[in-house]
Amino acid sequence: MKIFSGVVAELEAQGAGILEVFEPNPEEAVIRLNLEDFHRACLFMHKRLSSAVMAMFAADKRIVKSSFEIFCVFLSREHRKWCTLTADIPQDRPAFPSLARDIHSASLFEREIREMFGLEPQGHPDLRRLHLHDEVWPAGLFPLRKDFVLSGPVASDGITYCFNRVHGEGIFEVPVGPVHAGIIGPGHFRFSAAGEPIVNLEIRLGFTHRGVEKLFENKPPQEGLTLAERVAGDTAFGHGWAFCRAVETLAGLKVSPRALYERAIFLELERIYNHFAGIGGIALDVGFSFPAQFAAVLKEKVLRLNQYLTGSRYLKGVVCIGGVSRGFSRQDTRALLSEILSVSADHQELKKMLYGSVSFMDRVDDTGILRQKTARDLGVVGLAARASGADLDLRKVFPGIYERSDFRLIKQEKGDVLSRLRARMDEVDESVRLIIYFVDRLEEQSGTLAADFSRAASGRAIGSVEGWRGPVFYWVDMKEGLVDRCKIVDPSFHNWAGLSFAVLGEIVPDFPVCNKSFDLSYAGNDL
């Protein structure tokens, strides 16, 4: 309360009627407001904390208090806190003032709230639906409302989605997807091109919408964890840990340092294998097949290491509420160290191969620039934001076990494909260093692997982790030992907009490499 009270006082001075301020745990501050003041307070926090909207969502509380609740979460790096603004929306007037015209990063969240809860963002410039496609879903169905029942197939109203059109002589549209030639997720890309240069790119997603947030409802947290690990296949561990953190915070569970060290090791392993996949992908998309193959070998080595350590190549079922499901033996740590050192040595070779090739560097340098200001305005997060000069890394904001590891935030300035590539290369080095550090400390730790977890306390908490792509955000609302509402924000949800800006002015055949350099998830976005 003390740390944050200054900001709250400033907010009050703006004339916002604050109903309640409380700090449920050291990482969070919650400010409850009247709906009339919600808009003004959000604008103030956005500017004061210089934070994008990190998450915005609603919850259906009509059974308890005949109203919906709306939440807008900012991140204060200065106070090391998530700052949640919340207000009640009465059920007889299901609308709220839209932030989208003032804060771009709120735009997609508001569209999501509209289609999932039927709450109208008043003044929003673009009300097209994101996940529930008009071609499939009729109007008036709001899946995240508590009274929603899906009894069978739905019939569309016969409306089709309307893409933004660019008018002018010689402009033509190139539709790509949602089914692609490679093994990637489904997404539709609509290019408006004048010859080869891209004038506009509209990305339509939502094809893998599975209703994950709905599936969380009324599940015990253990089942929720299984679900969380399956939200985005390449961030299974990151999502699992973020969900666990929320539940652990609520239950007041103390996770032993030993388990935390192990978790951090797995998080970094996940980062490393994904970075190798991405680096190889960038090389492959410019037709540089030898290093691409080399990177694929490195990725496979890390996956096999994962398999050896945990029995799961993609680290599923490793994290559990209260700790980790299996501990390292001395033999394991030895194997881990020797393998990670050998991978790191190969990684140096890979770097030489890529940085030393003139034809490769010519392709990635200056391609797909996302300027720092654009990234900030769009609310781009994680790896892509750091490649454009942002300082945001949750491992810095909420260091936890990283506190004494001398963790170095990897940052690039230019924001082109090369910057994103360099950021990933450097992060691999940093992750290797961290793993070695954690393994060293792990030897000294004895504590339990997993704290006892019997029943979750009711309440709400945020769980977050800096996954390889960026911050993975979970907001969990527990009621009587079951999940009442779980809001997930994968970094992809923030970053797809960044891609559509980065490719402007680039030529159409350079799109794949720009896309790969962002390396975003379809499943994590569509939920």
Q: Using CA atoms, how far apart are residues 518 and 492, in angstroms rounded to an integer?
A: 9
Element containing residue 307 per DSSP (H, E): helix 289-310
Q: Which lies closer to other proteins via its Cβ, residue 118 or residue 368? A: 368
CB of 420 to other proteins, least distance (A): 17
Q: Residue 367 in contact with residue 417, Cβ under 8 Å?
A: yes
Q: Which lies closer to other proteins via its Cβ, residue 13 or residue 358? A: 358
Residue 28: which of 54, 64, 59 has the closest Cα? 54
What's the chain's length in residues? Answer: 527
* Stretch near other proteins under the rule CB under 8 A, chosen from 214-222, 327-335, 486-494, 510-518: 510-518
Q: Which lies closer to other proteins via its Cβ, residue 2 or residue 167? A: 167
Q: Is residue 293 within the footprint of other proteins (CB under 8 A)?
A: yes
Q: Is residue 421 within the footprint of other proteins (CB under 8 A)?
A: no
Q: Residue 463 in contact with residue 249, Cβ under 8 Å?
A: yes
CB of 508 to other proteins, least distance (A): 5
Q: Which lies closer to other proteins via its Cβ, residue 184 or residue 409? A: 184
Q: Which lies closer to other proteins via its Cβ, residue 279 or residue 432? A: 279
Q: Is residue 505 within the footprint of other proteins (CB under 8 A)?
A: no
Identify the bridge partners of residue 22 per DSSP, sorted by sequence position: 30
The count of chain residues that interact with other proteins, using the rule CB under 8 A, is 29
Q: Which lies closer to other proteins via its Cβ, residue 298 or residue 456? A: 298
Q: Using CA atoms, how far apart are residues 468 and 238, in angstroms rounded to an integer?
A: 8
Compute and round to an integer the Cα radius of gyration of the chain: 23
Scanning residues 351 to 410, which ones bind other proteins (CB under 8 A)?
357, 359-360, 362-363, 367
CB of 389 to other proteins, least distance (A): 25
Q: Other C-beta atoms within 10 Å of 147: how many? A: 8
Q: Is residue 512 within the footprint of other proteins (CB under 8 A)?
A: yes
Q: Which lies closer to other proteins via its Cβ, residue 362 or residue 391? A: 362
Q: Is residue 164 within the footprint of other proteins (CB under 8 A)?
A: no
Complete DSSP assignment for 91-148: TTS-EEE--TTT-GGGHHHHHHHHHHH--EEET-S----SSS-TTTPPTT--TTSTT-
* β-strands 28-33, 55-61 pairing: unpaired
Q: Other C-beta atoms within 10 Å of 131: how many? A: 20
Q: Other C-beta atoms within 10 Å of 476: how many? A: 28
The CA-based angle 427-428-432, given to 5 degrees, is 115
Site string for other proteins, 165-184 (x = CB under 8 A): -------xxxxx----xx--
Q: Is residue 481 within the footprint of other proteins (CB under 8 A)?
A: no
Q: Is residue 510 within the footprint of other proteins (CB under 8 A)?
A: yes
Residue 479: which of 60, 67, 150, 22 has the closest Cα? 60
Cis peptide before 90 (omega within 30 of 0): no
Give the 3-state secondary structure of 228-264.
Answer: HCCCCHHHHHHHHHHHHHHHHHHHCCCCCHHHHHHHH
Q: Is residue 276 within the footprint of other proteins (CB under 8 A)?
A: no
CB of 203 to other proteins, least distance (A): 14
Q: Which lies closer to other proteins via its Cβ, residue 226 or residue 342? A: 342
CB of 174 to other proteins, least distance (A): 4
CB of 469 to other proteins, least distance (A): 22
Q: Is residue 289 within the footprint of other proteins (CB under 8 A)?
A: yes
Q: Is residue 287 within the footprint of other proteins (CB under 8 A)?
A: yes
Q: Using CA atoms, how far apart are residues 446 and 376, in angstroms rounded to an integer?
A: 43
CB of 366 to other proteins, least distance (A): 10
CB of 364 to other proteins, least distance (A): 9
Scanning residues 181 to 240, which ones bind other proteins (CB under 8 A)?
181-182, 195-196
Q: Using CA atoms, how far apart are residues 301 and 364, in angstroms rounded to an integer?
A: 26
Q: Is residue 343 within the footprint of other proteins (CB under 8 A)?
A: no
Q: Is residue 288 within the footprint of other proteins (CB under 8 A)?
A: yes
* Stretch near other proteins under the rule CB under 8 A, chosen from 117-125, 411-419, 443-451, 505-513: 505-513
Please pick, from the candidates 5, 102, 290, 311, the single residue that binds other proteins as defined by CB under 8 A.
290
Q: Is residue 511 within the footprint of other proteins (CB under 8 A)?
A: yes
**Three-class DSSP category at 424:** helix
Amino acid found at 253: L
CB of 399 to other proteins, least distance (A): 39
Residue whose entry in the numeric block shows the structure tokens 């959000």: 42
Applying CB under 8 A, which residues contact other proteins? 172-176, 181-182, 195-196, 283, 285-290, 293, 357, 359-360, 362-363, 367, 507-512
